[in-house]
Structure 1
Amino acid sequence: MKPTKEIIGLRIISIADGTQAGAVKDIVLNPQEKTLDFVIVDQPTDFLGAKIIAFKDILGIGEFAMTIPNPGVIQDVAQNTEAQKLLNLDTRVIGTKVLTKKGQLIGEVTEILLDEETGRISACIFESNGQVHEIGAEKVITLGKELLIIEGFSAEGEKEKQQLSNVDPVVNSITEPTGVQEVTPATGVQEVTSAKVEEGDKGFNLFEQRQLQYFIGKMVEKDIALDNGNVLRAGERITPEMISFITSRSTLMEITSHLQKN
């Protein structure tokens, strides 16, 4: 899965002649099918003067580039009525409010995860009450211009809380004296326990923990102060040690916002 942030800005390389045919300037979503149908190339001010590539004509979406068979697959928007129709719908998803099926406004979409093999939206990332959540596409009822309507968020939230709350009791049951201390040295167990407690103290949910791991090896576009007082410099690769210094959601969100595109 790829977030849109890693797709927009990619070089577009023609396999036929090995040249760069442009760069991805934007994406065009199909709200009915929940798919990425087109990418916009070198977008001008007027959409109808733009060039597009249909997803079916894309060979691959990698970290370095998006590949196409040849420049001939690049079309004029003015000649593609389906693309015009989708552009007029203007379904961007990112920045839209998240509404539950029962009418509760719970947050705002901050990112979309796309399956680069099929073009389908796999999940939407949204922020609610200062926490970052991931909702699978199967739980999305409507992708609207102003609202993302979902179902089952409460159940998912409770499931995440339950999984997190189960971490410490499992560790504690291992560290209780049971007469098997000769086989499992107490010192080793204590080290594992303290590491688990330290991780739990951060209060990150499961998705946020995965997001932290995703940061490793990436770089940011500006200097960011970490929670221990250290500074993550622009262009400096993020190490596992630096990840341990990210203990607040505000820092997590700031790094997410300024992560460099590959």
Structure 2
Amino acid sequence: MRQSQQLIGMPIISIMDGKEIGKVKSLLVNPESGKVEFLVIHNERWTLGVKVLPFRQVQGLGDYAVMTESESAVIDLSEDTLANELKTKGVSIIGNRVITAAGQFIGEVVEYYVNAESGKVEGCVIEKESNDQQVLNAEFIITMGKEILIVKKESVENLINKSEFDRMSVSQANQEEVDRVDKSLIFSKDTVNITGKRVTADIYDENGDVIVPEGEVVTEDIVERVKRIGRNKLVELTLKIAE
């Protein structure tokens, strides 16, 4: 997941052309699907019209850049009915008041999280009158309006502290990365390929204790020790070694 403001100003790079197309200027959110459907692009060379990149054309969304296959994926706003409609509606989410279906005021949206693969809005950061920031999962959202976010009655009881939500998001991202590894190789003889390499980050056990510190050189004994803890932990070790 990415926070929406992390995307603003991020370069958009064409994989085929090997060049920067422009930078993300803003996001167009579809209140019906609950997704970011388009990225509005800023490029000083373009003087006519507004250009957008459909989120479905995003090949990768990293910490540094938005990757798309080629510059041809960029379209004029005027050429797409949905893009035009969303631009007119102007649902930005940030700044919206959050009110439950029972009429209770919760706070104001100051940020929201976007799924890096689908563009789905995963949750909203709500600042309460006490200035505390909590996150409401998108499953509790009923309506995304231009000025107001209507949420389910039980939303108040389901707010999550922002720091806790961020921690959960990182854990989920790490698990998804682990799941993408071909686990059939983890317990094979190919595991010896990681011996002699340095660990790039601490490896923790389930109790939060460091079992392999950052900078440690991987030995066969370390591999066996981690292997005994569990399959996923060995996958994590494999992911956290220097090339």
TM-score by length of 1: 0.59
Instruction: Determine if contact 1:97/1:148 at 8 Å carries over to the other structure.
Output: yes
Aligned residue number for residue 83 of structure 1: 83
Structure 1 Cα separation of the partners of residues 167 and 140 of structure 2: 24
Identity of aligned residues (%): 30
Once the two structures are TM-superposed, the CA of residue 210 in structure 1 deviates from its matched residue by: 5.5
Instruction: Determine if contact 1:8/1:25 at 8 Å carries over to the other structure.
Output: yes
Aligned residue number for residue 140 of structure 2: 139
Name structure 2 gaps, 5 residues minimum.
170-243
Aligned residue number for residue 103 of structure 1: 103
Superposed, which structure 2 residues align to 1:26-37 within 5 Å?
Answer: 26-37=26-37
**SS of residue in 2 equivalent to 1:112:** strand
Pairwise CA RMSD: 2.2
**SS of residue in 2 equivalent to 1:83:** helix
Amino acid of the structure 1 residue aligned with 2:150: I
**SS of residue in 1 equivalent to 2:24:** strand
**SS of residue in 2 equivalent to 1:59:** strand
Amino acid of the structure 2 residue aligned with 1:207: K
| C-alpha spacing 1:24/1:113, structure 2 compared with 1 (3 Å) | same
Amino acid of the structure 1 residue aligned with 2:163: E
Q: Deviations over 1:84-103 (max 9, x none)?
A: 01111110000010101100
Aligned residue number for residue 66 of structure 2: 66
Aligned residue number for residue 53 of structure 1: 53
Structure 1 Cα separation of the partners of residues 58 and 167 of structure 2: 30
Q: Deviations over 1:58-77 (max 9, x none)?
A: 10111110001000011111
Instruction: Determine if contact 1:26/1:43 at 8 Å carries over to the other structure.
Output: no
Aligned residue number for residue 17 of structure 2: 17
Structure 2 Cα separation of the partners of residues 145 and 120 of structure 1: 18
Once the two structures are TM-superposed, the CA of residue 145 in structure 1 deviates from its matched residue by: 0.2
Aligned length: 165
Once the two structures are TM-superposed, the CA of residue 154 in structure 1 deviates from its matched residue by: 2.6
**SS of residue in 1 equivalent to 2:135:** strand
Instruction: Determine if contact 1:11/1:23 at 8 Å carries over to the other structure.
Output: yes
Aligned residue number for residue 214 of structure 2: none
Q: Deviations over 1:189-231 (max 9, x none)?
A: xxxxxxxxxxxxxxxxx433555999xxxxxxxxxxxxxxxxx
Structure 1 Cα separation of the partners of residues 58 and 166 of structure 2: 27
Once the two structures are TM-superposed, the CA of residue 82 in structure 1 deviates from its matched residue by: 1.2
Structure 2 Cα separation of the partners of residues 210 and 29 of structure 1: 22
Residue among 163, 169, 173 paired with 1:208: 163
Residue among 137, 153, 156 paired with 1:154: 156
Amino acid of the structure 2 residue aligned with 1:58: V
Amino acid of the structure 2 residue aligned with 1:138: E
Instruction: Determine if contact 1:25/1:43 at 8 Å carries over to the other structure.
Output: no
Aligned residue number for residue 229 of structure 1: none
TM-score by length of 2: 0.63
Superposed, which structure 2 residues align to 1:145-184 within 5 Å?
Answer: 145-151=146-152, 152-157=154-159
Structure 2 Cα separation of the partners of residues 213 and 154 of structure 1: 19
| C-alpha spacing 1:210/1:33, structure 2 compared with 1 (3 Å) | closer
Once the two structures are TM-superposed, the CA of residue 79 in structure 1 deviates from its matched residue by: 1.1
Query: Which structure 1 residue ranges, 4+ long, deviate > 6 Å from structure 2?
Result: none
Aligned residue number for residue 195 of structure 2: none
